[in-house]
Structure 1
Amino acid sequence: MDKFKPVILSLAALTMLSGCVTREYAGDNTPVVQNDSSNDDIALTRISLALGYLKMGNTTQAKSNLEKAKRFAPKLVQVHTAFAHYYETVGENELAVGAYEQALSLDANDADTLNNYGVFLCRENRLEQAQKQFLKAIAVPSYLQVAQSYENLALCHLKADNFKQAEQFLEKAIKHNPSRAAVVLQMVRLQYAKRDYRQAQLYLQKFEKAVRRFSAEALALAYKLYKKQGKTSVANNYGVMLVKVFPTSWQAKQYLVNELAQIPADELALRYQKSRQGQASAKKRVVVLSPDKNQTVVKADNNKAVLAKTAEKKPKQQKQGKKRSSADSKPQTTITIPVHVVEYGDSLFSISKKYNIFMRSIQRWNNLKESSILRVGDVIYLSNPNKAAKS
């Protein structure tokens, strides 16, 4: 199911305009009808008709009305945005790109067009370009659908199995509109996929406060969530509600047949686990930190790292004429210091929480401040390097 939220479909509701018609009379009392509608108003009405035809599958009438709208207002942004939607519907994606670019050439800050263009690019798996359009829309001060664009951006990353980024953008969407039930339900799905059932339950409670009417998908997800936690009686209550309220739904039928053995959130969970396995397979790497006599390297993976520092003591100067024996040489000593290699989205707070270490300690060990900027690839000491060096 396509969960992206383009704004263009709202044009049908927003632009059902009727022109004001006035009557004047000539000297012989013959009425002369004059239409006070501007060309833009007429064009918007044609767009509304076109979208209606397109929804019914009548592409011929849809395009005919769009062409008429274009003749009345060739420089109206909505005309070209509607054309882009039409071209995407009929599978002419290159023409859709051209229509979006034409619309933005007329108004580079039209947030609705930017959002819709981002949705289109995401469907085309052009994540980087899609994110650029979404963020441009969000940056427009007068834009009211910021939560919707953040949700679209999160779904775009989720589609690409970028789970960390998806979670970050869902959090932003919820902050901008805490009562947007669809966003909160997406977060429930994501936390369920990550097997963080406690967090998923907290978001489910927020969803229940925000939603006016449950969907079959939400009831099925709630059932699985409580079932995973061993709360069978609560889970069964959701199952019974699912069958009573949505008896003909796919979810209700699956509940009766196999107690919802596999729902879309379970498929998302499998994708999450595969992404984690993929990260694990690419873990090992060596990063040279300083090319001095005491070579320091980091043997790191995506989650943990150990900094190994080899300190070699110089042998004492021997008297002339004596040969140096193997017993005279001192063995190398290896000091291991736990470290963390900074990833995208990391902060001092998240690192301290992950390793259960006071943030002030991490700051002190690494000479950092709360305002310090972490960059991907930075190495953060997780213990006091001075104490480790003396041991």
Structure 2
Amino acid sequence: MELSLKKTGLLLMAFALTGCVTQTYENDKTTPVIKNESSNNEIAMTRISLGLGYLKMGNTTQAKLNLEKAKRFAPNLVQVYTAFAHYYDVVGEPELATQAFDKALTLNAKDADTLNNYGVFLCKQEKYDKAEKQFLKAIAVPAYLLVAKSYENLALCQLKANNFDKAEHYLDKSIQHSPTSASSLLQMMRLQYAKANYEDAQVYLKRYEKSTRRFSSQALALAYKIYEKQNNQRIAKNYGAMLVKMFPNSFEARQYLLNELDVIEADELAKLYQSTQQTTVSTNKRVVKLSPSSSGQVEKSKPQQKATVTNVKPTQTLKPEEPRAHHIVKAGETLFSISRTYNIQMKAIERWNSISRTGTIKVGDIIYLAAPSSEINEQ
């Protein structure tokens, strides 16, 4: 999440740095002292704004230079260290980012913006419990105005942690605080679809449509799927037609024309939800394991881990093949995102890699992007 800081133009910065000055005197009434009328905090805020602007453009050197100058003008300003935390997060220094957030909170433990941003950072680091605590601290600040947004952040973080019930609870809280928030309504629509609550998803779709005039290709694709799952083909096709008309060059429109949106991002979330439900059931079972050394002993099963994809079949002898185009899975990637990147149907990727729809992939897996030679020869 980007920090929300006041934007200040270069002209204003120049005025702040070279503006009018006032001459005063020390206690002896004879030693003149020159003071700038602009406060050090105002100058620091200008430097922060400039530094974050450079950071957004990718000029990290100038970004840090301006943040250091801001720190020199106002070493006890909370926003200085919150900005430094964002800088360190962007350049991949999570430990320094953590130190900067902690410093900011030692200066003001109830700065809601800092608490919210700290929560976002911790969620990115997959420290979900700590992130939740920071979000809730921000929400508890009486003067904080962005409560709905922090609840939405909490929900998205819980989704990342595969905690669907908590995510729904926090999205509901977000909508209570801001009933017309298009982003929260869209996330709730997506979550209800993933949980196969299609009628509830339809209710939130109607509320979403009333709350915004800016539809996205993802929202229209989801609307299509909600009605398609309820076998209402007429309304589903209306949304499909809107998708193609409004976003003809979008990935979703191409997939609609190609396979009528066989799989969308929310389907990946649905598959993840189903896997968590299966894991919850399996961890409550007891498994009997027999071995030569300890026959008859009962051992509780460990929590079921996600299935990993194995492309080699031990009982099958394969002839050497020519090297095939492939992709190595990175953190956060799914089969859906990979298929979207290479514009390849998910069904083809699943077939080429012997992956079932219920299977999962992990970081480092090799995903083939072309058919094996045996399949090509058969064709």
Q: Measure the CA separation in 2 of the matches of 1:15 and 1:116.
A: 24
Deviation per residue, 1:124-177 (Å, 9 max, x gap):
111111111000000000000001111111111111111011100100000000
Residue 22 of structure 1, CA deviation: 3.5
> What are the within-5 Å matches in structure 2 for residues 166-205 of structure 1?
166-205=167-206
**Per the alignment, do residues 116 and 72 of structure 1 end up closer, same or farther by CA in structure 2, a change over 3 Å counting?**
same
Residue 263 of structure 1, CA deviation: 0.8
Is 1:246 equivalent to 2:247 in the alignment?
A: yes
TM-score (norm 1): 0.67
Is 1:271 equivalent to 2:276 in the alignment?
A: no
Q: Measure the CA separation in 1 of the matches of 2:158 and 2:72.
A: 39
Q: Measure the CA separation in 2 of the matches of 1:167 and 1:78.
A: 32
Residue 35 of structure 1, CA deviation: 4.3
Q: Measure the CA separation in 2 of the matches of 1:105 and 1:23.
A: 33
Q: Measure the CA separation in 2 of the matches of 1:15 and 1:261.
A: 48
> What are the within-5 Å matches in structure 2 for residues 91-102 of structure 1?
91-102=92-103
Deviation per residue, 1:215-249 (Å, 9 max, x gap):
11101100111111111111111111111111111
Q: Measure the CA separation in 2 of the matches of 1:260 and 1:188.
A: 17
Question: The residue matched to 1:130 in structure 2 has which SS?
Answer: helix
Q: Measure the CA separation in 2 of the matches of 1:185 and 1:14.
A: 33
Please name the residue that 2:120 is paired with: 119
Q: Measure the CA separation in 2 of the matches of 1:147 and 1:57.
A: 31
Q: Any conservation in 2 of the 1:12–1:51 contact (CA below 8 Å)?
A: no
Deviation per residue, 1:31-63 (Å, 9 max, x gap):
xx9842111111111111111111111101100
Paired amino acid for 1:133: Q
Residue 212 of structure 1, CA deviation: 2.2
Paired amino acid for 2:65: S
Q: Measure the CA separation in 1 of the matches of 2:89 and 2:282.
A: 38
Please name the residue that 2:262 is paired with: 261
Q: Which of the pair has more CA radius of gyration?
A: 1
Please name the residue that 1:329 is paired with: none
Paired amino acid for 1:167: E
Please name the residue that 1:311 is paired with: none
Please name the residue that 1:109 is paired with: 110
Please name the residue that 1:154 is paired with: 155
Q: Measure the CA separation in 2 of the matches of 1:89 and 1:24.
A: 40
Q: Any conservation in 1 of the 2:8–2:50 contact (CA below 8 Å)?
A: no
Q: Any conservation in 2 of the 1:12–1:52 contact (CA below 8 Å)?
A: no
Question: The residue matched to 2:75 in structure 1 has which SS?
Answer: coil
Q: Measure the CA separation in 1 of the matches of 2:284 and 2:176.
A: 34
Q: Measure the CA separation in 2 of the matches of 1:12 and 1:131.
A: 27
Q: Any conservation in 1 of the 2:220–2:243 contact (CA below 8 Å)?
A: yes
> What are the within-5 Å matches in structure 2 for residues 69-148 of structure 1?
69-148=70-149
Residue 24 of structure 1, CA deviation: 8.5
Residue 258 of structure 1, CA deviation: 1.2
Q: Measure the CA separation in 2 of the matches of 1:100 and 1:241.
A: 45
Q: Measure the CA separation in 1 of the matches of 2:133 and 2:185.
A: 24
Please name the residue that 1:13 is paired with: 7
Please name the residue that 2:353 is paired with: none
Q: Any conservation in 2 of the 1:224–1:235 contact (CA below 8 Å)?
A: yes
Q: Any conservation in 2 of the 1:193–1:266 contact (CA below 8 Å)?
A: yes
Question: The residue matched to 2:253 in structure 1 has which SS?
Answer: helix
Q: Measure the CA separation in 2 of the matches of 1:196 and 1:35.
A: 62
Residue 192 of structure 1, CA deviation: 0.2
Deviation per residue, 1:327-376 (Å, 9 max, x gap):
xxxxxxxxxxxxxxxxxxxxxxxxxxxxxxxxxxxxxxxxxxxxxxxxxx
Q: Measure the CA separation in 2 of the matches of 1:274 and 1:44.
A: 47
**Per the alignment, do residues 24 and 142 of structure 1 end up closer, same or farther by CA in structure 2, a change over 3 Å counting?**
closer
Q: Any conservation in 1 of the 2:47–2:69 contact (CA below 8 Å)?
A: yes
Paired amino acid for 2:153: N
**Per the alignment, do residues 117 and 15 of structure 1 end up closer, same or farther by CA in structure 2, a change over 3 Å counting?**
farther
> What are the within-5 Å matches in structure 2 for residues 353-364 of structure 1?
none
**Per the alignment, do residues 127 and 159 of structure 1 end up closer, same or farther by CA in structure 2, a change over 3 Å counting?**
same
CA RMSD of aligned residues (A): 2.0
**Per the alignment, do residues 51 and 24 of structure 1 end up closer, same or farther by CA in structure 2, a change over 3 Å counting?**
closer
Q: Measure the CA separation in 2 of the matches of 1:15 and 1:35.
A: 19
What is the count of residue pairs matched by the alignment? 272
Unaligned runs of 5+ in 1: 1-5, 26-32, 286-391
